[in-house]
Amino acid sequence: MNCRITLLPGDGIGPEVTEGAVAVLDAVERKFGHSFGLTAMPFGGNALDLTGVPLPEDTLNACKQSDAVLVGAVGGPKWDDIKPHNRPERALISLRSALGLYAGLCPAVLYPNLVSASALRADVAKLGADILLVRELSGGIYNGEHGYRDGALGQEAYDVEAYAISTVERIANMAFELARTRKKRVTSVDKANVLTASKLWRATVDRVAKGYPDVELVHKHVSNCALELLTRPDKFDVVLTSGLFGDMLMSELAAVVGSIGMLPSCVVGKGAIGIYGAVHGSAPDIAGTDTANPIGAILSAAMLLATSLGLRAEAAAVDKAVKTTLSKGLRTKDIAHGKKHVSCSRMAEEIAMNVLNS
């Protein structure tokens, strides 16, 4: 297959983990005879330094002309004083909306080999976890009105959480359809005891659920869900929630599976160009040290192969290569528990080699 993948390495450890993912994609090209046409573009803080905006026109156009986008990470303390609308993180939100994307997917699997790296108590970790977090990313507080105004106590800042029924229906349908391919259980997470937007969310998910009588639906308040993910992670299958709650729960899932470096994710929409990238941020404290964990980025590349390119066998080969590498005992620092560890580039090379040898 000939295609075009736009790389947005971004800031901090973004370029290092992206390089790892590229090494694995190179191996897939060689092994299976594809040409992925990888092109890197500025994005986030580095784009801001270079052009004055975090999402330059050229970068956006390159993304629009590609089959899929692979992103590293954006942001860092260097850009902390930038106004919210121009911050590196805004590049991600603007790109999602420019590509018409609405669903953030994050599969969180606790690998048997990494049970000891999980933050969970051993007897809970042993129960395992295989969760798919589904976040709504086109509406909600990230995309609502933001601003400053005069309040009773002087100037105040505000961000609006708003959800249209059709927006909730669209993401709920996706969550139920995905649940049908898994353990057929959807946990919808909201704060319906307080928030009006959550009340509409819950009522809408209930209506959508009627079309999926074969899928079990449970509602949970986000506070309770945050607790139960740590006490009975094995009870969850698909977790459906808003962008902000999902962002928090995704980081919590990182502790469940052992490290935020392990988690892949993507943002997609039906028939749209998807964005793929690890859940972790730019980790400026370890940037440039070749100690990051590239597995989240590599598994994101595998999601890209399966979801945007339909290359399921290739994606499975990458997943398997990750498992093989972990089972051989290779660990990056974040999952090594103070024991011997390898560098980011070495981990990626080993996974790439295991793809070639599969």
- For ligand IPM, give the closer residue by CB, 118 or 242: 242
Geometric angle at alpha carbon 52, from 48 and 55, rounded to 5°: 60
List phi, psi (to 5°) of 195: -95, 135
Question: Closer to Mn ion at the Cβ: 178 or 254?
Answer: 254
- Given ligand IPM, Mn ion, none, residue 92, with its beta carbon under 5 to 8 Å by kind, binds ligand IPM
Part of the chain binding ligand IPM (CB under 6 A), chosen from 57-65, 87-95, 296-304, 325-333: 87-95
Non-local CB neighbours of 201 within 8 Å, separated by 6+ positions: 163, 168, 188, 190, 192, 242
**Residue 56, token pair as written in the block:** 């330059």
- Per-residue mark of binding to ligand IPM, 308-337 (x: CB under 6 A): ------------------------------
Angstrom distance (rounded) from CA 133 to CA 106 = 5
- Spatial strand order of the sheet with 264-268 comes to 38-40, 5-10, 68-73, 274-278, 264-268, 103-109, 130-136, 238-242, 185-190, 216-221
Q: Which residues pair with 119 in a beta bridge?
A: none
Out of 67, 130, 234, 247, the only residue in the binding site for ligand IPM (CB under 6 A) is: 247
Rounded Cα–Cα distance for residues 113 and 111 (Å): 5
Amino acid at 235: K
As measured in angstroms, the least distance from the Cβ of 211 to Mn ion is 31
- Return the bridge partners of 190, or none: 221
Size of the site for ligand IPM (CB under 6 A): 6
List, in order, residues 6 or more apart from 271 with CB less than 8 Å away. none
In whole angstroms, give the CA distance from residue 169 to residue 201.
9
Q: How far is the CB of 151 from ligand IPM (least distance, A)?
A: 26
Q: Which is nearer to ligand IPM, 10 or 233 (CB)?
A: 10
What mask, x for binding ligand IPM by CB under 6 A, covers residues 262 to 301? -----------------x----------------------
The enclosing H or E element of 166 equals helix 165-180
Residues 113-142 that bind ligand IPM (CB under 6 A): none
Among 5, 28, 40, 92, binds ligand IPM (CB under 6 A): 92
CB of 263 vs ligand IPM, minimal distance in Å: 9
Q: Which is nearer to ligand IPM, 62 or 279 (CB)?
A: 279
Residues ≥6 apart with Cβ < 8 Å to 314: 28, 31, 32, 34, 302, 305, 306
67 touches Mn ion by CB under 5 A? no
For Mn ion, which residue of 218, 247, 252, 356 counts as binding (CB under 5 A)? Answer: 247
Binding piece for Mn ion, criterion CB under 5 A, among 24-32, 93-101, 242-250, 255-263? 242-250
Tokens of 82: 């930038």
Q: Which of residues 179-208 bind ligand IPM (CB under 6 A)?
A: none
Residues interacting with ligand IPM, by CB under 6 A?
89, 92-93, 247, 250, 279
Residues interacting with Mn ion, by CB under 5 A?
247
